[in-house]
A and B are shown apart, each in its own frame.
Chain A
Amino acid sequence: MTIPEFLTYIVIFLAVYVQVFLLFTYFEHFKEIKALKREPLPDLVNPPKVAIIVPCWNEEKTVHGTIASILALDYPADRLEVIAVDDGSTDNTWQELLKYENHDRVRIFHKENGGKHTAINFGIDNTDADIIGGLDADSFVAPDALRRMIGVFQAHPKTMAVTPSLIVDEPKNLLQFAQRAEYNMSTYNKKMLSLLGAIHVTPGPFSLFRKETFQQVGKFRKAHNTEDQELAYRMQEHHLPIEHCVNAYVYTRSPNTVKKLYVQRLRWIYGFIQNTIDYRRLVFKKEYMNFSFFTLPSGIISIIAVVYLSLVFAYDAVLFIVKKITQYSIAGFHHGGTIHLHFDWFYINTQTVSLLTIFLYALLIFSIVAGTRLNKQGNGLNWHIIAYILIYSVIAPFWLLKAVWNTIARRGQPAWR
């Protein structure tokens, strides 16, 4: 066995281990997960006061929709307020917000531009609500989402943050349908991490926090443009539980071009790497258990696996191209080679690595199907899975490689958009 072959086995072994771990968790909590699908809307006793902060930076076109979706939430009106913070917009966002100047449930603020996390912190400083959350201007909340998430807080008094399930809103092109499959898979992954007590990100769109969270660990910090991830790391460090509420749906607009997706994912992956480096003291520490022994290592393994396998693939592709060029230069168009027009099972690749790769893809497809069902997006078996596998197999290595390269080369953090 050559060194590259040995490394390939190691990478595949770790990748299979991660997926089997998630699958094991799924079946370990199967009854609980199955019951979630029929979970009734919770009756809230003494509903806590909730503040949803809407950080706005040049959101003149979407801010009304965002605020309207919050005001339409199924929640006692006197216990819910919207705090819209204009973060130094250069368009008419502030003029649009002024329309809510006299609204009894919406408070508006204007501040100099300082980044999204400063706008949210500004909102946190200006509310006395028990539960505080944020909602990006590109996302919309299902009417029952807040009630369900508050239900989780009330059922689990020690829970300090609750995250929703994100669904791609109205996908229009192939790329967005692929992202819908990916987001559905994320719901599966996040629920499993939630069951493991090991969530590593509280997404910007509608993650809710008890106000004590900020008192205990501080507010949002500037953190490689992934402040929502850094806060989750900090909460894990302080043993503040984070739960995922599967039935709370938030619809978010997804990038509609490869370039926009690339920029977004580069920011996410770079942020993950940097935050993990910043919090490397949490890795393999028994006191942080699953977050320390599973979440962080599995994220690192995923990046290493994709980077390594894509490099191997690129190397093979270069060899193939060189071979074809050599063939044409020697033999012209009579390059020969045996072309098997008939099917012969003999040539099906049945090497151990290939079989394990098939197994890995099967687990991946299972996670998408299970996530799709959790998101109530159908039975899960649809062409979005194929779109996801084909598109992401090609483009994901690029942002992963770039994020790794930026880390190695100590480049600056990627732009927001």
Chain B
Amino acid sequence: MNSLFRSKPWSYSFRTIVFIYFIGLIIIPIVGIYTQSFSQGLASFIDSLSDPLAWKAVLLTVKLAAIATLINVLLGTMIGWVLTRYEFVGKSILNSVIDLPFALPTAVAGFILLLLVGPSSLFYEWFGLDLVFHEPAIVIAMMFVTFPFVIRGLQPLLEELDQSEEEAAYTLGSSKTRTFFQIILPTMLPGILSGAMLAFSRAIAEFGAVVLIAGNIPGKTLVASVYIFGEIESNNPHGAAAVSVLLLSISFLILWFIHKLNRGGQA
């Protein structure tokens, strides 16, 4: 029984307003972009996608996002582990600062990275590495904005891990490495996976941090979101919509998979 909203005339109008808002704000725009991109027929949709610049941009995005996610899985697993398992000076400060990439505007993040590794930076003078306007810079930007996902996905699972299982493994004579791979890693895996997928879907969608440092050279460092932006600017909404639909479908698949994974973990 829902006690909050017993049948009163205004509770019906409340419901209606909330659901009209929900449908108008979320569902109509998403349906709209799919219908728009197919509005001129399938041929024109395929035509927009077979533009080499378009599919190269999508491929590049997926490739770089995968690299960034892999780095984050490795670093994130380590940091998540250290922050839950060990006690040391400054732990709580580290733990709070992890969320910084979520709080910092992505355009600001892109700008700082430009300052840090750009042509006039100390990094450039010391190492002579020209990162900005090349692929590594995009990977760094994607890595920065998705940094907290794996750590935050992992921590609750590690906190819940029953120490006695681990101790039992040790008592039975299992080595440290074996315990890690047979007891601890299986517990952490769902968290790492869902964190990694969230990071990946965020990385392929990232715009603000990437646009400033990628150089956006078509076919070389032009990622999908920047390509879409360029198409909108040059007044080609159909080309933009076609690539958007491709990118959206990838993201929706990932989201659906995370949902499945989470439900499997709870059951």
**Bound together:** no
